[in-house]
C-alpha cells in the first residue's frame, strides 16, 4: 500500500510549492506516506519496488548499489529512490536465484542410493525436493555341456519426495548472583527471570527440593510476598530414589491445576535430581514451556544447571530392572541463576562430590584449573568455597 501510494503520487506529478509559488522539480512525498515507507525493512522496500517497477513496465538500472549505502530518506525525488532500491532488488533477486539453483548430491548411508536434492524456490534453505536412485545388480551363471552363460540383471528404482531441514536455536543465560543475595528483596534477578507478565498478573510457580524447602522455604515465599506476588510451590523429594516418572506426574498435575500459560516460565529450585525432573516436566507440559534452573548444590551448579539434558530413571516391568536416566529429553532452560552461597548448607561429602566433577572438567579441558584445584582443593572443601583469602586472590 505504501509503495502504491508513493508511486501514485509521483505518477500524478504532485509537487511541493517553493517559496516563489512555483513547483519544484523534485516530487513531494506526503509525511504520512514517508513515515510508513521508513518503517519498512530495507529488504521489503527493495522487493516491493522491484515488483512495482516490473508491473508498471518501468526500466530498472543495473547500478550496483549496496543496501548499506542506500539512504532511505524520502526527501529525495521518488524516481531516485526507485532507481537505487530497484538496483538492490535486482542484485538480491539474482543471488537468491543462484542459491535456489544449487543441486546437491549425496549417498544414502542406509540403502546406498544416490540422492539428488534440489532446493525449493520458496524455502531454499529448509525444504528440498529429492529423487533417490537405487541400483540393484544380480548375476546368474548357467552352465551346460558346451557353454557357460552369465546373465546380469540390473534393476534401477527411483523414488521421489521432499526433505525438511530445520535447526532449533539453543540460547540461554547463566547468571551469576552476588553471593547470598538470591532471596534478598533488593535483588530482582529471581523475579526478572520469571518473565514479563501483564499488569495485575501477580502469581508465579516453583518446583522446590524438599531439603531446600526446609532450609530456605520461608525466604523463598517471603521474597515473592514482599513483591506482592503469590507463589505456588510444589515440593518434591530430591533424592535419587525419587527420580521416577511419578515425580513428573506430580509436577504436571500441579501445573494443570495452576493453569500455567504456554510462555510463562516456572522456577526449579534444588539439586540435580530436582532440576532433571522439573526439566523433563517442562519439556512435556503443553509440548514445552520455559523453566528457570536455580541449583542449590555444588554438583548441580557445575553439572546439571548448565547443560540441556533432563531425565528420570525408569523401572521396566518386563525385565524387572531400573534403568538410570532412561526416559528424558534434551531441553534447555530459559535461564540459570547461580548463587554459590547454597554450597555452605552441604556436608563435606557432597562438596567433595561436586569438586570431583570440577576435576573431571579440569582433566579434559584446562591444565590451569587442574593446578588451582591441586593447590587449593583441600581449602575449598573445608571452607565450602567461602575462603576469603582465595576470593581476594581470584
* Cell numbers placing 86: 530497484
Q: From residue 144, give the alpha-carbon distance in Å to each of 140, 147, 268.
A: 13, 6, 80
User: Does the annotation count 227 as an active-site position?
Assistant: no
Closest CA to 271 of 311, 234, 233, 305: 305
Catalytic pick from 219, 309, 360, 391?
309
CA separation for the pair 129, 81 (Å, rounded): 38
* Cell numbers placing 273: 535430581
81: alpha, beta or left? (left if phi > 0; alpha if psi -120 to 50): alpha
Strand intervals (E) in 244-374 = 266-270, 291-295, 309-316, 321-330, 335-338
In contact, 243 and 276? CB cutoff 8 Å: yes
Q: From residue 331, give the alpha-carbon distance in Å to each of 165, 169, 306, 309.
A: 19, 11, 11, 6
* Cell numbers placing 224: 515473592
CA separation for the pair 222, 228 (Å, rounded): 10
CA separation for the pair 170, 100 (Å, rounded): 27
* Cell numbers placing 200: 495485575
In contact, 42 and 67? CB cutoff 8 Å: yes
Place of cell 548499506: 68
CA separation for the pair 179, 344 (Å, rounded): 11
Q: Which residues, at least 6 apart from 327, have a Cβ–Cβ distance to it below 8 Å?
A: 245, 280, 311, 312, 313, 314
Look at the chain and count its residues. Answer: 394
Q: From residue 217, give the alpha-carbon distance in Å to each of 180, 185, 200, 211, 330.
A: 15, 15, 25, 9, 29
Which residues belong to the active site? Answer: 309
Amino acid at each position: 500500500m505504501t509503495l502504491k501510494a508513493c508511486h501514485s503520487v509521483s505518477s500524478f506529478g504532485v509537487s511541493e510549492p517553493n517559496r516563489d509559488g512555483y513547483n519544484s522539480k523534485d516530487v513531494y512525498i506526503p509525511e504520512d506516506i514517508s513515515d510508513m515507507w521508513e518503517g519498512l525493512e530495507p529488504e521489503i522496500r527493495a522487493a516491493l519496488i522491484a515488483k512495482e517497477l516490473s508491473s508498471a513496465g518501468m526500466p530498472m538500472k543495473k547500478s550496483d548499489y549496496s543496501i548499506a549505502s542506500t539512504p532511505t530518506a524520502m526527501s529525495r525525488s521518488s524516481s531516485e529512490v526507485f532507481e537505487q532500491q530497484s538496483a538492490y532488488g535486482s542484485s538480491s533477486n539474482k543471488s537468491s536465484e543462484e542459491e535456489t539453483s544449487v543441486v546437491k548430491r549425496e549417498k544414502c548411508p542406509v540403502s546406498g542410493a544416490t540422492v539428488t536434492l534440489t532446493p525449493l524456490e520458496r524455502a531454499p534453505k529448509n525444504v528440498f525436493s529429492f529423487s533417490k536412485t537405487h541400483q540393484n545388480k544380480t548375476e546368474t551363471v548357467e552352465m551346460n555341456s558346451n557353454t557357460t552363460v552369465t546373465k546380469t540383471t540390473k534393476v534401477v528404482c527411483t523414488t521421489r519426495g521432499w526433505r525438511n531441514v530445520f535447526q532449533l536455536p539453543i540460547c540461554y543465560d547463566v547468571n551469576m548472583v552476588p553471593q547470598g543475595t538470591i532471596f534478598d528483596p533488593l535483588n530482582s534477578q529471581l523475579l526478572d527471570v520469571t518473565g514479563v507478565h501483564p499488569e495485575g498478573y501477580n502469581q508465579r510457580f516453583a518446583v522446590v527440593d524438599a531439603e531446600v524447602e526446609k532450609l530456605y522455604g520461608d525466604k523463598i515465599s517471603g521474597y515473592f510476598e514482599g513483591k506482592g506476588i503469590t507463589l505456588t510451590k510444589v515440593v518434591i523429594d530430591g533424592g535419587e530414589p525419587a527420580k521416577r516418572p511419578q515425580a513428573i506426574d506430580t509436577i504436571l498435575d500441579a501445573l494443570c491445576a495452576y493453569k500455567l500459560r504456554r510462555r510463562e516460565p516456572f522456577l526449579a529450585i534444588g539439586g540435580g535430581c530436582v532440576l532433571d525432573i522439573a526439566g523433563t516436566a517442562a519439556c512435556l507440559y503443553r509440548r514445552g514451556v520455559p523453566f528457570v534452573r536455580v541449583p542449590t548444590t555444588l554438583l548441580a551448579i557445575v553439572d546439571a544447571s548448565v547443560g540441556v539434558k533432563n531425565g528420570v530413571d525408569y523401572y521396566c516391568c518386563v525385565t524387572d530392572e531400573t534403568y538410570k536416566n532412561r526416559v528424558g529429553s534434551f531441553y534447555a532452560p530459559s535461564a540459570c541463576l547461580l548463587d554459590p552461597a547454597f554450597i555452605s548448607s552441604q556436608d563435606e561429602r557432597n562438596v567433595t562430590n561436586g569438586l570431583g566433577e570440577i576435576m573431571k572438567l579440569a582433566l579434559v579441558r584446562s591444565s590451569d584449573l587442574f593446578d588451582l584445584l591441586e593447590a587449593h582443593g583441600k581449602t575449598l572443601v573445608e571452607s565450602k568455597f567461602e575462603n576469603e583469602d582465595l576470593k581476594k586472590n581470584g
